[in-house]
Amino acid sequence: MKLDHKKIQKKEKAISICMDKNESITPNRLLILNILLESDIPISAYDINSIIKSRGKNLNISSVYRVIEFWVKLNVIHKISYLNKYMLCDNTDEKHTHITNICTSCLSVIETCNETMGLDLKESSKKLGVLLSPDINIEIPIICQKCQ
Ligand SMILES: [Zn+2]
Ligand SMILES: [Zn+2]
């Protein structure tokens, strides 16, 4: 599948984030990154596994999870717990908290950040005497415009 301009940029960015952390771009890391780039909807580890199989390769599910976790830690991939699926981060340069808004009707995901949504998460956490854990996306269930 051919990647459009925006996706090529995302791929280059992901690779540079990886290199900045002195991590190597293994064939499996690249393969799974490409599969997520090609998908416009969140996909599960099992979806990724069957796409790999359909391309005549074989990777066991624990290796798929290991690679996914690698990219999640770098904040290149977000886990969507509500769906138990994964998607590429829409903007790895985003310094605010990444927010994944999941439509509970059509299951599409719209990514934004707390600043855009007017949510002062650091202040809210302080009120509880806790600190906001950084670098993990926050999920908000929504009904998207199409589904309203
Ligand atoms: Zn993100
Ligand atoms: Zn929807």
Q: What is the mean pLDDT of residues 55-77?
A: 95
Ligand closest in space to the Cα of 109: 2
CA of 56 to the centre of ligand 1 (A): 31
At 40 the pLDDT is 85
Q: Which ligand is located closest to the Cα atom of residue 79?
A: 1
Q: How confident is the model at residue 31 (pLDDT cuts 50, 70, 90)?
A: very high
Residues 76 and 141 placed together within one structural domain of the fold: no
Q: Report helix, strand or coil for 35.
A: helix
Ligand 2 center–CA 105 separation, angstroms: 5
pLDDT digit string (tens) for 5-29? Answer: 999 999 999 999 999 999 999 999 9
Asked if 94 contacts 72 with a C-beta cutoff of 8 angstroms, the reply is no
Q: Which structural domain range is residue 56 located in? A: 5-88
Residues 119 and 77 in one domain: no
Pair 61, 107 in one domain? no
Spatial contact of 82 and 76, defined as CB atoms under 8 Å apart: no
Residues 39, 71: one domain? yes
Verify that 124 and 58 share a domain, yes or no: no
Using pLDDT thresholds of 50, 70 and 90, give the confidence band for residue 146. very high
pTM of the model: 0.91
- Where residue 2 falls among pLDDT bands split at 50, 70, 90? confident
Residues 77 and 11 grouped into a single domain: yes
User: Are residues 109 and 100 in contact, defined by beta-carbon separation less than 8 angstroms?
Assistant: yes
Q: Is residue 59 part of a domain?
A: yes
Q: What average pLDDT score do residues 117-133 get?
A: 91
Among the bound ligands, the one closest to the CA of 148: 2
